[in-house]
């Protein structure tokens, strides 16, 4: 199986450096808290600190991979960027426009923004309306947005999209239940492309699929990126998945980004102990290779009661005294490599 490596992506998506001043998406100190009511008689209001101060930029044509354990807030981050979750505080700026208070924007602006940002979900089974045929799934967004006004144009576009993701236009009359998981994920991708977006958030787009199909879908995403001039935010719990497609990777732990770096820097020189532990967990296809596995003990703490100081300190093999007292900020270590850890100075 031929796998495409990110070098191709970088060259095909053009000159990344020059776009640095004007990111497509900029997230500043994003926080999303979910209120939970506890107590039987006396109601106490607590919060789940799902996302607790996340900042990142996404350049045009770039792919940012967000990795972390389940429950670390990576999906919520993606949903908040798309305004499918309302941010508690912070700022989301898309193409120079502040979209944090999405509902206060005018209807036209909202529609325009919806058209520009699309989503691919993890579960290919729940992401397609079971009562809608493929043609309708792909046509409906075009109708709502008034793209391709004539029925003929729409049919051509639907046929093109289906072909582009590896299905045949004759399958358009069928309903989602008659397709396999991998095919459904392709349909989900086709749907996300129907509106010609400029950014796609992929929420674990391949996690639910077989490994062989994962590679196909990742390669499809890479091909589509250059063809449709897309920027990706790809969320995954598996570093091995994002390494083949990401230009830059952000590692999240308990609602915060602990390290972010270009993919090659991160793989060669991970600085945060959590990243190092994640790296050591990537399987190597060589039975003789001896690896130093860092096995973390314990579970991710509850985001309802995050630990004091650095959220990782209860599980950190190299913790210092100050780790439980103060939270480290993101430090720039050169070459776009940022890390939040007291060990790194």
145 counts as binding other proteins under rule CB under 8 A: yes
Q: Can you say whether residue 148 is alpha, beta or left, with left for phi > 0 and alpha for psi between -120 and 50 degrees?
A: left
127 counts as binding other proteins under rule CB under 8 A: yes
Among 64, 99, 128, 193, binds other proteins (CB under 8 A): 128
Residue 248 phi, psi (nearest 5): -140, 150
* Minimum separation from the CB atom of position 20 to other proteins (A): 28
Going by DSSP bridges, is the β-strand pair 338-339/256-262 parallel, antiparallel, or unpaired?
Answer: antiparallel
Give the DSSP H/E element, type plus range, for residue 191. helix 181-193
206 counts as binding other proteins under rule CB under 8 A: no
Residues 180-199 that bind other proteins (CB under 8 A): 188, 191, 194-195
144 counts as binding other proteins under rule CB under 8 A: yes
CB 49 within 8 A of CB 224: no
209 counts as binding other proteins under rule CB under 8 A: no
345 counts as binding other proteins under rule CB under 8 A: no
CA angle 144, 188, 127 (to 5 degrees): 90
Among 3, 43, 103, 131, binds other proteins (CB under 8 A): 131
146 counts as binding other proteins under rule CB under 8 A: no
115 counts as binding other proteins under rule CB under 8 A: yes
The token duo for 342 is 């007291």
Task: Please identify, among the stretches 49-57, 93-101, 120-128, 232-240, the one whose residues bind other proteins according to the rule CB under 8 A.
Answer: 120-128
Among 141, 166, 169, 301, binds other proteins (CB under 8 A): 141
Give the side-chain half-sphere CA count within 13 A for 103: 5
Buried b or exposed e, range 19-36, using 16+ CB within 10 angstroms: beeebbbbbbebbbbeee
Residues 22-41 that bind other proteins (CB under 8 A): none
Question: What are the distances in angstroms from CA 256 to CA 28, 208, 260, 282, 300?
Answer: 12, 25, 11, 22, 13
Residues 54-83 that bind other proteins (CB under 8 A): 79, 82
Among 10, 84, 93, 281, binds other proteins (CB under 8 A): 84
Q: Which residues contribute to the site for other proteins (CB under 8 A)?
A: 79, 82, 84, 110-111, 113-115, 117-119, 121, 123, 126-131, 140-141, 144-145, 188, 191, 194-195
């Amino acid at each position: 199986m031929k796998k495409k490596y990110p070098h191709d992506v970088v060259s095909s998506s053009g000159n990344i450096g020059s776009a640095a001043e004007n990111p497509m998406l900029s997230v500043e100190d994003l926080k999303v808290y979910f209120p939970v009511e506890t107590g039987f008689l006396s109601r106490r209001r607590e919060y789940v600190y799902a996302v607790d101060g996340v900042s990142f930029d996404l350049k045009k044509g770039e792919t940012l991979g967000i990795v972390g354990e389940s429950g670390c807030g990576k999906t919520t981050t993606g949903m908040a960027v798309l305004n499918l979750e309302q941010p508690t505080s912070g700022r989301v700026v898309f193409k120079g426009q502040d979209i944090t208070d999405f509902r206060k924007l005018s209807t036209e602006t909202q529609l325009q923004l919806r058209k520009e940002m699309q989503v691919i979900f993890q579960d290919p089974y729940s992401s397609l309306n079971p009562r809608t045929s493929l043609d309708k799934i792909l046509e409906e967004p075009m109708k709502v947005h008034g793209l391709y006004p004539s029925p003929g144009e729409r049919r051509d576009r639907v046929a093109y999209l289906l072909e582009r993701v590896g299905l045949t236009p004759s399958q358009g009359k069928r309903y989602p239940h008659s397709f396999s998981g991998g095919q459904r994920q392709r349909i989900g991708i086709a749907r996300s492309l129907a509106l010609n977006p400029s950014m796609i958030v992929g929420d674990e787009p391949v996690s639910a699929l077989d490994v062989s199909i994962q590679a196909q879908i990742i390669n499809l995403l890479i091909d589509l990126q250059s063809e449709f001039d897309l920027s990706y935010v790809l969320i995954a719990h598996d570093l091995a998945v994002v390494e083949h497609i990401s230009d830059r990777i952000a590692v999240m732990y308990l609602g915060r980004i602990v390290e972010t770096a270009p993919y090659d820097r991160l793989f060669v020189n991970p600085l945060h102990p959590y990243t190092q532990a994640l790296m050591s967990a990537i399987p190597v296809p060589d039975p003789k290779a001896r690896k130093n596995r860092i096995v973390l003990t314990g579970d991710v703490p509850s985001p309802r009661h995050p630990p004091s100081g650095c959220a990782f300190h209860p599980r950190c093999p190299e913790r210092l005294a100050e780790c439980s007292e103060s939270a480290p900020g993101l430090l720039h270590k050169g070459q776009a490599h940022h890390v939040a850890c007291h060990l790194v100075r």
